[in-house]
Amino acid sequence: RREQAGDGVLPLTMNYRSRPEVLAVVNHLFGADFGDEFQPLAASGDFPDPVFGAPVELLVTDKSTYSETDVHWRRGEARAIARRIRDLIAAGDAAPGEIVLLFAAGTDAEWYEEELRALGVTTYRSTGRGYFGQQQVVDLLAYLRLLRNRYDDEALVSVLASPFVGISNDGLVLLRRAAPKRPLFVALERELPATFPERDAQLLRAFRQRYDRLTAALARLSLERLCERIISEHDYDLAVLARWDGRRRYANLRKLARLARSYEELRGPDVEGFVRFVRDQEAVGARELEAVAEEEGGDAVRLLTIHAAKGLEFKVVVVADAGRDKAPPASHEILALSDGRFGFRVADPITSKPRGAYAYDAVQEARREEDRAERLRLYYVAMTRAIDRLIISGSIDPERTADDTTPIGWVLGRLDAKEEIERAGAEPVELEREGARVILRVDRFATEPEVTVESFPEDGQLALFDEGGVAGALPPLVPALQPLVEIAAPPVHRVRRLSFSALALFERCSYRYYAERVVGMRPTDERSAVPGTPGLAATEIGDAVHRLLELVSLEEPIPPDDLAARVRAWYPRVTDDELERIGGFVRSYCDSELARRVAALPGARPERPFAFEHDGVLLHGRLDVLQLEHEQAVVVDYKTNSLSEGTPEEIVEHDYRLQRLVYALACFRAGAQEVEVVYHFLERPDAVVSTVFRLDQVSDLEGELSEAIARINAGAFRPTPSEFICAGCPALDVICAGPRLRSASYAEHALATV
């Protein structure tokens, strides 16, 4: 490609990160606004697992519904995002560490973090103030300054107002009055006035004792130990740990102590120098990240600014707070653009009001346009960080035209979705625009359901003292509680997604399915061969054949010239006999009547992925060959089974019945009216089994699939041993006797010992 480009510009349009569904939406959104320069992105990554539902979602919070309430609309949006993230995690669609919330400005990111934490989601935020601006770092530095100079008023006020001491604002004012025109600490050295609040006076006395102990120890302690002593003397660690993000705050304190140790190793125990060093770092805006508490490091939802996320990628990206409007640029007196244009404002000689001179208005408009384009580029960066899922969230007031210029307003405008927003209820709405599919969820304020409490007559108690009241029936004091319903035991296994290989494994031995897919045991031999056997396993031979047939042109089926070299590269231990067998399978297809038929099918394509949902389970897999034309589908599947197992028809009926119906349903879901599924057993060119399904059979097929899923969900896992399936099984001789189960004497022995 570099040679093709010559000296010109080489466009980078292949995207190896995001799913095609995500890129389709990004292309649709930005295509028109970026103009002719825009190069649509094409997906180049390999995504074997499909995403459950549409990979792009819009979470729109209707601001107008929050206007008369005591809940801020941004809080509402943060809650909607938190609920969605909790659901994604609960459904197993993403782990917390794979999710990121991106903000153009991190000003209110704390709200979003609070709502996530409220739902029990671990978070790690690195927006807003940097490390040196964190409150606990500022507090500890103020204390260090105070130890060096007790008459540093600013440091003293910081310490007194912080959790180190915690005196009230009134106490601070009275303290100031107690030593007018003198350093504040002088008031502490004098007798406190009698009017001083008692609680504040106690706090100050305790502070003085601790402060004096620390100043006495100052010369003996290293900087790191000094930091630790300050924290422990005042129980500051307990105060920060009591906060919802206490572990992070505490980690920030530990980090400052470590920084102090490093400083001391280089420069000696110089408290003042260390304080100055940290202050300088903050002044120059040194990018020091907040400390990550241990439990937050790996598996926490991250909250980052878009700028900080450049070059990164995440499985799930939530572009949050997209309803935030950027403040309009201040009206400068003189404006200049990088292309040399400029304009300025002068006072009108008649009205004295400022008005533009030269091209001021045009330059101002160009400046606004630049800002807008920059903001779009920023959101483009944010959206292209997503691998699997992109969620764009923002708040708008549908009646307010000013909100149209916010990023979420712009997105809704590009999707022409205003009408859908107005109509949307609690259920999500699906939008499709030129191949870009988006799920729209609208959040509107809803009051929490009220808890109804049974009321009683106010004189219920007094009735005791009525005539004969004591002897009479007592009024009910509390409502009778409903008997507790016994909670059903959780299912052993709740399946959410199934590949065909998992389904096939369940059909062959449900106990092995349980061992591998539920318990997580790994096959003892990844080749699924009998351990210790040389050569290739049956699955490896099947894999080599499928990979070679992928290389064969469907229009002109000829075996690859370098067949042997390729197989040796994939499987170096392949034997000559196995190579001959593999080549025979490939030639068998190329010479078959079926291959000639496929060559004549217009639009037939190899290796087509599919995914569809049934009974809440995502079924996915790949079709070896698919042709879908005029609502007629033809699916071809290659098999390398030995025909000594039975006739082709028997093998299909016994082993591939479920697979066949899954293939058929996938095609019906894709719009086919009739589906032909053809199995070719490559041992012979003519060993072909073809079955045609019509639309009126769909309910029967779905019923059969439902039964299979129900069997998995019911947790009916039983061993069904055979030499073939037991090879490489992780349960063999660990929790299952495998083929020995078939011997009657073993079964009797097992029963006798139970």
Counts of helices then strands in the chain (DSSP H, E): 27, 19
| In the complex, least distance from residue 747 CB atom to ligand SF4, rounded to whole angstroms | 13
- Rounded Cα distance, 317 and 55, in Å: 10
- Rounded Cα distance, 127 and 140, in Å: 21
Nearer Cβ to ligand SF4 (144/732) = 732
Residue 746 CA to chain centroid, in angstroms?
A: 50
Strand order in the sheet with 429-433: 123-125, 301-305, 99-103, 314-319, 386-396, 56-62, 436-443, 429-433
- Rounded Cα distance, 404 and 392, in Å: 15
Query: Taking Cα atoms as reference points, which of 319, 309, 379 lies closest to residue 33?
Result: 379
Nearer Cβ to ligand SF4 (149/524) = 524
- Rounded Cα distance, 34 and 373, in Å: 8
| In the complex, least distance from residue 492 CB atom to ligand SF4, rounded to whole angstroms | 15
Nearer Cβ to ligand SF4 (311/532) = 532
Nearer Cβ to ligand SF4 (76/721) = 721
Structure-token pair, residue 632: 């007629």
Nearer Cβ to ligand SF4 (312/519) = 519
| In the complex, least distance from residue 613 CB atom to ligand SF4, rounded to whole angstroms | 29
Nearer Cβ to ligand SF4 (573/749) = 749
Q: Are strands 688-694 and 42-43 parallel, antiparallel or unpaired?
A: unpaired
Sequence letter at residue 748: E
From the CB of residue 262, how many other CB atoms can be counted at a distance below 10 Å? 12
| In the complex, least distance from residue 662 CB atom to ligand SF4, rounded to whole angstroms | 22
| In the complex, least distance from residue 749 CB atom to ligand SF4, rounded to whole angstroms | 17
Q: Which residue has 């943060």 as its token pair? A: 78
Sequence letter at residue 266: L
| In the complex, least distance from residue 732 CB atom to ligand SF4, rounded to whole angstroms | 4
- Rounded Cα distance, 253 and 549, in Å: 61
Nearer Cβ to ligand SF4 (507/624) = 507
Nearer Cβ to ligand SF4 (244/724) = 724
| In the complex, least distance from residue 740 CB atom to ligand SF4, rounded to whole angstroms | 9
Nearer Cβ to ligand SF4 (301/505) = 505
Is residue 391 within 8 A of residue 23, CB to CB? The reply is no
Report CA-CA distances (Å) from 644 to 162, 578, 592, 648, 650: 82, 18, 20, 10, 11
Longest dimension (CA), the chain: 114
Burial class (CB in 10 A: 0-12, 13-18, 19+), 34: middle
- Rounded Cα distance, 220 and 416, in Å: 70
Nearer Cβ to ligand SF4 (189/526) = 526
Residues forming contacts to ligand SF4 in the complex (CB under 6 A) are: 509, 511-512, 515, 719-721, 725-726, 729, 731-732, 736, 738
Nearer Cβ to ligand SF4 (106/721) = 721
- Rounded Cα distance, 527 and 534, in Å: 11
H/E run at residue 347: strand 342-347
| In the complex, least distance from residue 709 CB atom to ligand SF4, rounded to whole angstroms | 20
Write the DSSP assignment of 458-481 as a string of letters: GGGTGGGGSTTTTTSPPPP-SPPP
| In the complex, least distance from residue 625 CB atom to ligand SF4, rounded to whole angstroms | 31
- Rounded Cα distance, 749 and 754, in Å: 9
| In the complex, least distance from residue 654 CB atom to ligand SF4, rounded to whole angstroms | 17
Query: Taking Cα atoms as reference points, which of 211, 76, 198 lies closest to residue 142?
Result: 211
* 3-class SS of residue 610: strand
Nearer Cβ to ligand SF4 (209/501) = 501
| In the complex, least distance from residue 725 CB atom to ligand SF4, rounded to whole angstroms | 5
| In the complex, least distance from residue 738 CB atom to ligand SF4, rounded to whole angstroms | 3
Nearer Cβ to ligand SF4 (269/738) = 738
| In the complex, least distance from residue 543 CB atom to ligand SF4, rounded to whole angstroms | 20
Nearer Cβ to ligand SF4 (46/723) = 723
- Rounded Cα distance, 62 and 204, in Å: 49
* 3-class SS of residue 439: strand
Q: Which residue has 């359901």 as its token pair? A: 449
Query: Taking Cα atoms as reference points, which of 681, 649, 662 lies closest to residue 610?
Result: 662
Report CA-CA distances (Å) from 192 to 111, 147, 163, 165, 198: 41, 22, 21, 16, 10
Nearer Cβ to ligand SF4 (519/565) = 519
Q: Which residue has 């997906």 as its token pair? A: 43
| In the complex, least distance from residue 497 CB atom to ligand SF4, rounded to whole angstroms | 22
Q: Which residue has 């100079």 as its token pair? A: 149
Is residue 685 within 8 A of residue 588, CB to CB? The reply is yes
| In the complex, least distance from residue 733 CB atom to ligand SF4, rounded to whole angstroms | 8
- Rounded Cα distance, 22 and 702, in Å: 30
